[in-house]
Amino acid sequence: MTNASLPPTGTLGVAVIGAGMMGADHVRRLDQVTSGARVAAVADIDDARAGGLAAGIDGCTAHTDPVAAMDAPGVDAVLIASPGPAHEAALLAALERDLPVLCEKPLTPDAASAQRVLEAEQKLGRRRIQVGFMRRFDAEYQQLHALLAAGTLGRPLLLHCRHRNASLHPYFTSEMLINDAVVHEMDATRWLLGQEITAVTVILPAPSSHAPAGLSDPQFVVLETERGAVVNVEIFATCGFGYQVQAEAVCERGTARIGEAHGLMTNVEGRWGGEIAPDFIGRFADAYDREVQAWADATRRGAVTGPSAWDGYAAAAVCEAGVAAQRTGERRAVTMIDRPALYAPEGG
């Protein structure tokens, strides 16, 4: 087990915790796409599922205990893709072993547990955790981020966001539309604008007839930032026609828009048009590839880049305010601790 950086020519041995849809996709990615990394262990409470993934990879071991997977031979780093409530224990175990971690969002399900993770990482005196907000690795989002950072369009005033999904798993709740869906816009807002979110308002229109009973869908979320920008998010999770993520920044001297999916366009039989991605894995496949490759490259040279545990904590705090606003119908302020020095922005 290696706690220091690997030599540039070394191969990063990764323990993947969680063998569900995301975990299995990451196992495939590490095994077939990511250079300089390999899957050394897989853990899942379903031993058959973990064993099935491990069986196809030379030297990979299967476990039902995440800690056993972290302690398996050849493990240098951890990728956590288990359900959110299990993240805190896995993150703390990885930090105890001084192992670098890529943790799928959420960091943890609430701000209090996220703060405990922050405190554990601070005791190490260095960052070990990257959070899987993959939109930061999407080519269009990176273009928009660079454009706003350059200041070409002037100060951002508004950000319009649309987040649509064809359908949902039956276990989804109205609160999960904030915690599992709009959380991506919350992180993207903080990253694109370079500002913390200070307040959240949630407006609930009449539910779509296609929404399952008890699910309030769509929802309209308004975010306010520390320097006066206003962000609106339409989340429509049962739109029926596909998966769309779009954003438009309105600035003092112009606007910029991403997510229009203007790829191949056809004209046939009196119609014109293109395709809409069926789900988030298809839409952000390249972003996931970039994210894991960047994490592996940074880990091999002893660095940690990308969204930090602070970003995970901030998202959890904004989500808590969002769920409270959703429940009460009132604007809710976001309550956060001061940013620890370990997570100071680059150059500041």
The yes-or-no verdict on residue 43 having pLDDT over 80 is yes
Give the contacts of 262 (CB within 8 A, at least 6 positions apart).
274
What is the Cα–Cα distance from 22 to 79, expressed in whole angstroms? 11
pLDDT tens per residue across span 5-29:
555 558 999 999 999 999 999 999 9
pTM of the predicted model, to two decimals? 0.92
pLDDT tens per residue across span 198-239:
999 999 999 999 999 999 999 999 999 999 999 999 999 999
Provide the pLDDT for residue 76: 97
Burial class (CB within 10 angstroms; exposed 0-12, middle 13-18, buried 19+) of 206: exposed
What is the Cα–Cα distance from 137 to 68, expressed in whole angstroms? 31
Upper half-sphere CA count for residue 326 (Cβ side, 13 Å): 22
Q: From 3.40.190.10, 3.40.50.300, 1.10.357.140, 3.30.360.10, which CATH number describes the 136-283+312-343 domain?
A: 3.30.360.10
What is the Cα–Cα distance from 103 to 86, expressed in whole angstroms? 11
Give the residue among 189, 283, 217, 288 at the shortest CA–CA distance from 244: 283
Determine whether domain 12-135+287-307 maps to CATH 3.40.50.720: yes
Phi-psi domain of 306 (left: phi exceeds 0; alpha: psi -120 through 50; beta: other): left
pLDDT tens per residue across span 145-172:
999 999 999 999 999 999 999 998 888 9
The arithmetic mean of pLDDT across residues 93-108, rounded, is 97
Q: Which uninterrupted H or E stretch holds 22?
A: helix 21-32
What average pLDDT is seen over the chain?
92
Domains 12-135+287-307 and 136-283+312-343 share a fold: no
The arithmetic mean of pLDDT across residues 327-332, rounded, is 97
Q: Are 192 and 231 in contact (CB under 8 A)?
A: no
Map out the domains of the chain as residue ranges. Answer: 12-135+287-307, 136-283+312-343
Give the residue among 247, 242, 245 at the shortest CA–CA distance from 277: 242
Provide the pLDDT for residue 2: 40
Tokens standing for residue 199: 């307040």
The arithmetic mean of pLDDT across residues 108-135, rounded, is 97
- From residue 158, give the alpha-carbon distance in Å to each of 34, 89, 318: 37, 38, 18
The arithmetic mean of pLDDT across residues 74-78, rounded, is 97
The yes-or-no verdict on residue 261 having pLDDT over 50 is yes
- Decide: helix, strand or coil at residue 15: strand
Provide the pLDDT for residue 250: 95
Q: Are 326 and 175 in contact (CB under 8 A)?
A: yes
Give the contacts of 317 (CB within 8 A, at least 6 positions apart).
111, 114, 334, 335, 336
Quick one: pLDDT band at residue 348, thresholds 50, 70, 90?
very low
Give the contacts of 252 (CB within 8 A, at least 6 positions apart).
153, 154, 155, 157
